[in-house]
Structure 1
Amino acid sequence: MAGHSKWANIQHRKGRQDEKRGAAFSKIAKEITVAAKMGGGDAGFNPRLRVAVDKAKGVNMPKDKIDTAIKKGTGELEGVDYVEIRYEGYGIGGAAIMVDCLTDNKTRTVAEVRHAFNKYGGNMGTEGSVVFQFKHCGQMIFAPGTDEAALMDAAIEAGAEDVNTNDDGSIEVITGPADFITVKDALEAAGFKPEFGEVTMKPESENEFTGEDAVRMQKLLDALENLDDVQEIYTTAVMDE
């Protein structure tokens, strides 16, 4: 996101997540189950599970739902066997989009994703067509007014890769994917709690949209996000709120 709109876009995204909390519970539960299946049910020894559980707590997902999802992953409870799959494509004006899914039926999922792209003015790409436009990393955003010098010192000491101050005063800390939890814990211990943080695919450059193009692009992203099998959407598009 562009420096001038970073904070506004983060707040908008958080608001949208709150509005869709029920769907968020379902999607996060899937991620917890897959993470527990792949790396075990102890979040202390499974970074992917720790990130998923933190995300669940961030939307006030009940503890019993978190525990149930973990037990489905470890085999203590019967659960669905999900497969991870990523689709790549283009939105309005050629903006890059990546769609990460967890599914028990690839045929259904690819048909639904392709339909959403086609209906709302985008098109599916081939594997590898846009992934090079993103960086796999940990990302944390701190509120405007945060002590920039102190945060930078703490972040560098904790092992962060980069610290950027945006035009709106918010501060972005970038980490390696595997270092996200370690750096986040160290910063919180130092008194710096991020307003937003996740392991993500961060766009290397951005496409800013305004007016009707922004509306059209948002409709495409919403259509993809509303699909049950879609977990995460990454895009180079930034809508002017």
Structure 2
Amino acid sequence: MAGHSKWANIKHKKAATDAKRGKVWTRLIKEITVAARMGGGDADTNPRLRLAMDKASDANMPKDNVVRATQRGAGNLDGASYEEVRYEGYGIDGAAIIVDCMTDNRIRTVAEVRHAFSKFGGNMGTEGSVAFMFKHCGQLLYAPGTDEDKLMEAALEAGAEDIISDEEGGLEVLTAPLDFSVVKTALEAAGFKAEMAEIIMKPATETVFEGENAIKMQKLLDALENLDDVQEIFSNAIIDA
């Protein structure tokens, strides 16, 4: 179960990006709305909605906003109708990139994503062109100093698929997507609070970027992140700052 993880670097960059964009609540409202539309407005029976609500709580979103987004998704309030769309492409040196969006206008969104790719040295691919390089899974990250033996015991008992330790002592728990909420709840009950907990597309292999290529790759990722319709970006690129 040994391995290498850039979880601390990812956590830092994600927090910086969210703060810079200033659109955390907007993204969460879209996620709550779509989750409620797809799985109903009851968080107890809708794991995706529960996860979105947990994120909203962590982001200090007012409960009224959460309630309105849930009701809108469940069809009880009027509002924009968002749909999920995924784009795939290549960055610097062929690095794989997945761009998950929520949009009420596909034509606008694809034009903006394509423009960002082309302007910053990447190019869009066809559906499935890079997705095979990633695994859809739940990921929970724990800071160095966490008791590995106790976490491993609790995680495996809760149904986790794997526990990976990195060279800094950080721990990564991986789950099947449908088991994510159960494992997260069980680990919290056991006293383990994750630094980050999300359902992600995890790359099978990673490519480290340094120097000029690292700068170029970061500019491309930032350009994509800054698009209003973008919810999440996954890449096998690791930027060595």
Bin the TM-score by the shorter chain. Answer: over 0.9
- Structure 2 residue runs of 5 or longer lacking an equivalent are none
Q: Measure how far apart 1:12 and its partner are.
A: 3.0
Query: Cα distance 1:196–1:40, how it changes in 2: closer, same or farther (>3 A)?
Result: same
Asked if structure 2 preserves the Cα contact closer than 8 Å seen for 1:160 and 1:175, the reply is yes
Q: What amino acid sits opposite 1:18 in the alignment?
A: A
- The one-character-per-residue Cα deviations of 1:79-114 (angstroms, maximum 9, x if unpaired) are 111121110000011000011111111111111100
| 2:68 aligned partner | 68
Structure 1 runs (4+) greater than 3 angstroms displaced:
none
5 Å matches for 1:126-141?
Answer: 126-141=126-141
TM-score by length of 1: 0.96
SS at match of 1:3: coil
SS at match of 2:114: helix
What is the rounded CA distance, in whole Å, between the counterparts of 2:5 and 2:75 in structure 1? 47
| 2:16 aligned partner | 15
What is the rounded CA distance, in whole Å, between the counterparts of 1:172 and 1:4 in structure 2? 8
Residue 42 of structure 2 is aligned to residue 46 of structure 1: no
Q: Measure how far apart 1:4 and its partner are.
A: 6.1
- Structure 1 residue runs of 5 or longer lacking an equivalent are none
- The one-character-per-residue Cα deviations of 1:120-157 (angstroms, maximum 9, x if unpaired) are 00000011100000000000000100000000000000
Q: What amino acid sits opposite 2:173 in the alignment?
A: V
What is the rounded CA distance, in whole Å, between the counterparts of 2:57 and 2:162 in structure 1? 26
Is the deviation greater in 64-73 or in 149-158? 64-73
SS at match of 2:60: coil
Query: Among the aligned pairs, what percent are the same residue?
Result: 59
What is the rounded CA distance, in whole Å, between the counterparts of 1:14 and 1:162 in structure 2? 25
RMSD of equivalent CA atoms: 1.3
- The one-character-per-residue Cα deviations of 1:153-212 (angstroms, maximum 9, x if unpaired) are 000000000001100110000000000000000000000010001001011111111122
SS at match of 2:150: helix
TM-score by length of 2: 0.96
Q: Measure how far apart 1:6 and its partner are.
A: 2.9
Aligned residue pairs: how many?
A: 239
SS at match of 1:45: coil
Residue 31 of structure 2 is aligned to residue 31 of structure 1: yes
SS at match of 2:151: helix
SS at match of 1:69: helix
SS at match of 2:18: helix
| 2:84 aligned partner | 84
Asked if structure 1 preserves the Cα contact closer than 8 Å seen for 2:5 and 2:165, the reply is no
| 1:159 aligned partner | 159
Asked if structure 2 preserves the Cα contact closer than 8 Å seen for 1:6 and 1:168, the reply is no
